[in-house]
Amino acid sequence: MVKVEVRLPTPLRSYTGGHASVSVQGATVGEILERVIEGNRGLERHLRNSEGRLRSYVTIYVNDEDIRGLNQEATELSEGDVISIVPAIAGGNTETSARTGSSTPSPVLNLLEAQEAPLTRDELRRYSRHLLLREVGVAGQKKLRASKVILIGAGGLGSPAALYLAAAGVGEIALVDFDRIEVSNLQRQILYGTSDVGRPKLAAAQERLTDLNPGVRVTPVEAHLTSENALEILQPYDVVVDGTDNFPTRYLVNDACVLLKKPNVYGSIYRFEGQASVFDAQRGPCYRCLYPEPPPPGLVPSCAEGGVLGVLPGVIGVIQAIETVKILLDAGDSLVGRLMLFDALSMRFRELKLRKNPDCVICGEHPTQTGLIDYPAFCGVVPVSSTESSATTTPEITPTELAARLGSEDAPFLLDVREPEEWEIAHLPGAHLIPNLQLPERVTELTGAREVVVYCKSGERSGRATRLLLELGFANVRNLRGGIDAWTDQVDPSLPRY
C-alpha cells in the first residue's frame, strides 16, 4: 500500500472541505477512488454511475497518463504518485441563437492575392515584430493574411482570441454569436466597453476588430449553430476556435470538425480553472476521445451559475489564439494529444497526455457515427418545444402568487438552492439555503415542511431540485417560476440583480 495525492477540480472541492487535494493510501487507482468516496460520500454520484462504473465524462490520470491507456482502475500505484480527477467543464460563452447575418468586407485582399501579393508598406510596419521571427517572417505573415478562422462565441474566450488573431493579421475572422452586450459581460469580455451595453455583440466586435486592424475581414455570423447548418458554416475556414460554454454546441463543434477534417482549438473555464487543447482527428484524439459522453444537465454549472475570475478567460483565450497562429504557420508543437490545465489560485499549469480512442464513435478505427446528430437530445437538454410539457411535470408558483402567500399563516418553506456567493448578493426573506449539489445529502433538513417552494436565479436549477424532492417522496413542492430574477421584476425591484 502506498500514499498518493488525489487532486480534485473546483466543482468537487465542496465535498472535501474546499481542499484542492487529499492524501490517500491504496494499491490501485480503484482502491484510492473508493477511499476518497468513503470519506466524502457526496462524490460518489459525480464519479460513478448507478452500476458503479466510472462515469464517461470523468477522466482519471495517474501523473500525466490517462488510466484508459494503462490498466484502468486496476492500475497499480507507486509512492508519491499524483491522481488527477478531470471532469468535463463548460465555460466560455453561451452560443444559442437565430439568424445568419452578413459580413461587411474590410479593405482586404482576396485569398489568391493574399498568397501572392507582396506585403504592403503598411503591413511591413504593422507586422515588423513578426517579420523578425524566423518562424514567421514574410512568408509566414503572408500565410496568416491568406488564412480564415472562425470563432464559436464572442464572449469571454472569444474576446481575447479574436483581438489577438486580428492583431496578428489573420486574413478573415468569422464570429458566431447572437447575443447582446450586458453590463455583467464587461468583467471579462474585453472586446466591449460600457458604451456598447445593449448593442449586438457582433456589431460591436466588428467595429472593434476593424479599428484594431483594417486589413482583416471580419465576418459576423448571427446564427445558432445546429446540425443542419454547422457543416456549411464551418466548411470555408481553416481553423475552428471553440469558445462555447454548453455541451450540445461543444459536441456539435467537435463532430463537425472531425467530419470536415479541421482542427478544433478548444478552451473552457470555470471559476479559477481553465483547460485548453487542440483536437484534430487527423493527427490525434478528438473531444469525444477525452469525454465520450456529456455529464447530465445541470451537474456541471456554467459560468453564469458558478462564476468565473474575470481575467481567467484572458489566459485561456490567448492560449487558443497562440495555438491557432501556430497551426496556420505550421510552427512549433501544438497541443494535439495534450490537455493543458491552469489553476489561477495556485498559478500552476499542468499538462496531461491525451490518447486517441480506437473505439471513438466519430474518429475511431470503425466509426459508427458518420453524420451530425441531435445534440440537445444527446446531452439531455429539454428542447424549447418541451417547455409546456416540462411545466406540467414540475409544479410551479408565480412570484405574485408566492408574495401573497408569504404573509399568511400557511406560508410555505422557502428553499434557496443557489450557491452561498449568490445568497450574499440577494435572497428572499425567510429563505433557507441548501446549494443544489448538497441537497441529496441535506434533504433531512426539510423534514416536517408541509409545503416547499424552491427557487434559484432563473428557475432552471430549482426546477431540477423540485423534481428531485418529488422523487424522494415530498408531496407538496413547487418551483418559483423564473426564479429570483422574476421576483425582482414582478414583486421587489429593489432587490439587487447579478
Q: 218-239 burial, b for 16+ CB within 10 Å, e for fewer?
A: bbbbbbbbebeebeebbeebbb
What are the φ and ψ backbone dihedral angles of 64, each rounded to 5 degrees?
-115, 20
Query: CA 335: distance to chain centroid?
Result: 18
Tell me which residue has cell 481553423.
Answer: 239
Q: Are strands 413-416 and 452-455 parallel, antiparallel or unpaired?
A: parallel
Grid coordinates belonging to 437: 449539489
Chain Cα centroid distance, residue 439: 24
Q: Answer yes or no: 360 catalytic.
A: no
Which of 289, 360, 363, 456 does the annotation list as catalytic? 456
Rounded CA separation 291/287 (Å): 6
- Phi, psi at residue 41, to the nearest 5°? -60, -30
d(CA 95, CA 223): 9
> What is d(CA 295, CA 292) in angstroms, rounded to the nearest whole number?
10
**Measured between alpha carbons, how far is residue 153 from residues 156, 302, 408 in Å?**
8, 14, 47
Which residue shows C-alpha cell 456567493? 421
Chain centre to alpha carbon of residue 373: 20
Please report which residue ranges of 182-275 form alpha helices under DSSP H. 201-212, 230-234, 247-260
> Considering 257, 286, 289, 303, which one is annotated as catalytic?
303
Are 90 and 247 spatial neighbours (Cβ–Cβ below 8 Å)? Answer: yes
Coil, strand or helix: which one is 356? Answer: coil
363 is catalytic: no
Indicate the pairing of strand 239-242 with strand 217-221: unpaired
Q: Is 44 helix (H, G, I), strand (E, B) or coil?
A: helix
Q: Please measure the distance between the N-terminal and C-terminal CA atoms of the chain and give it in whole angstroms.
A: 49
Q: List the grid coordinates of 77.
A: 500505484
**Following CA atoms 164, 165, 166, 168 in sequence, which dihedral angle do they give, to the nearest 10 degrees?**
80
Name the helix (H) or strand (E) containing 314.
helix 312-329
Among residues 32, 303, 327, 287, the alpha carbon closest in space to that of 157 is found at: 303
Which residues are annotated as catalytic?
303, 456
